Structure 1
């Protein structure tokens, strides 16, 4: 039903684009290109496809007290995998702050084709950007501009480390900093990612599953502890 609705919308769109400039039509086509996977996933029950979903909820611990949460989800359908992150932290680092974050990453055959990051601190938006793979090139967009990102194919960003132990992965993409950084194995089941601001994330794995993350900065140290792991099939 959703696919038929999409086709009908496309027909109406192209009937009305005779008076539009070619550049405008091209932009619309690119946007539609990245909307289609969402329609395919939403209509999975129609074509009997199976979406595999895995969810993990982390407590953010500072000085043995919970100061927030990070909920992550991984959903897979055929060759498309979607990761989402929702988080909120309330604490004091020099001053009191409330941090809210939302992220989404879409992979097609292990290649990142879209990601978005939104972060707000004390009700003020600090980061709101998206990354899209268009004709083999990555383009970064925020409210001020759209720019080409001179970087190779991205196969992993930070959210994937919540679900996959990076045994054979040597680098990972940081959406916030728009760059690739090294993953350093420290010992079996333990890996470090050093961020450009000199803070670091240390990931611990047990039987291939993420068991803990330590986040160490100049003025803070917190732990992410999984509350539970829920696996189901929709």
Structure 2
């Protein structure tokens, strides 16, 4: 895709510019050509840089070794701002068929959480809809029709676990439970987080990137693997 883009840029801008150079050099107007050439180079460089600042990771969701869904994580960096978006679709069966869709978002600025949202839909019905918003010194927590305040600095949340190993980080903010949770190191690049509902997750990292997540529920275990 990038070579094709460069070829198009050359055909559209560079070739006419070189022809114009020939005409301009004969009149000694080299400065104008240099300015146009610089603009072209900056345009190409900025386009490629914008691509490098966007990352996408895909995880396969498995239950008992069978793929039951997929999760995608998008990470965009724009100066001091980091935007994370996570979406997943799961289709499985216990006593009856279950379809789960999720859509989570987080916005960090200068390393501090500005906003996050958690949305869950099960079999077409809304199950969870929560937001965390920074308002001056406090966070406003919204859960359905309920609102409360959270007075604590948030620099690391559950979504960041997928793209940054929690080295020297002892707590993580749960956007779903809307509270801080302890991070326990249980092995080399291996961490456990106990959830308020009695369940727990384990995270396995390689080169600072989360490769595998195990969701341990009282009724099942689900594994998410980076592909």
- Cα deviation for residue 94 of structure 1 reads 4.2
After TM superposition, give the deviation of residue 211 of structure 1 in Å. Answer: 1.4
Structure number with the bigger relative contact order (C-alpha 8 A, sep ≥ 6) is: 1
Q: Which residue of 1 aligns with 2:13?
A: none
Q: CA RMSD in A?
A: 1.6
Q: Secondary structure at 1:158's aligned position in 2? A: coil
Q: Which residue of 2 aligns with 1:116?
A: 117
Q: Map 1:72-91; keep pairs closer than 5 Å.
A: 72-91=73-92
Q: Under a length normalisation based on structure 1, what TM-score does the superposition of the two structures give? A: 0.73
Residues 4-41 of structure 1 deviation map (CA, whole Å, 9 limit, x = unaligned): xxxxxxxxxxxxxxxxxxxxxxxxxxxxxxxxxxxxxx
CA contact (8 A) 2:137 2:151 kept: no
Q: Return the TM-score normalized by structure 2.
A: 0.75
The answer on 1:215 being equivalent to 2:220 is no
Correspondence 1:91-102 to 2 at 5 A: 91-102=92-103
Structure 1 residue matching 2:183: 3-state secondary structure: strand
Q: How does 1:220-231 map to 2 (within 5 A)?
A: 220-227=220-227
Contact 2:141/2:150, CA 8 A, preserved across alignment: no
Equivalents in 1 of 2:182, 2:162: separation in Å? 16
The corresponding residue for 2:165 is 165
1:215 and 1:122 map into 2 onto residues whose CA distance is 20
**Bigger CA radius of gyration:** 2
Consecutive unaligned residues of structure 2, counting only runs of 5 or more, are: 1-42
- Residues 160-208 of structure 1: CA deviation (Å, up to 9, x unaligned): 0100011111010111111110000001110001111111111101121
Counting only pairs closer than 5 Å after superposition, residues 150-189 of structure 1 correspond to structure 2 as 150-189=150-189
Distance 1:156-1:94 versus aligned 2 partners, 3 A rule: farther
CA distance in 2, matches of 1:207, 1:172: 20
**4+ residue runs of structure 1 moved beyond 3 angstroms?**
48-51
CA contact (8 A) 2:213 2:225 kept: yes
In structure 2, how many angstroms separate the alpha carbons of the residues matched to 1:68 and 1:115?
Answer: 23
Q: How far is 1:148 from its partner?
A: 3.0
Structure 1 unpaired stretches of 5+: 1-44, 228-234
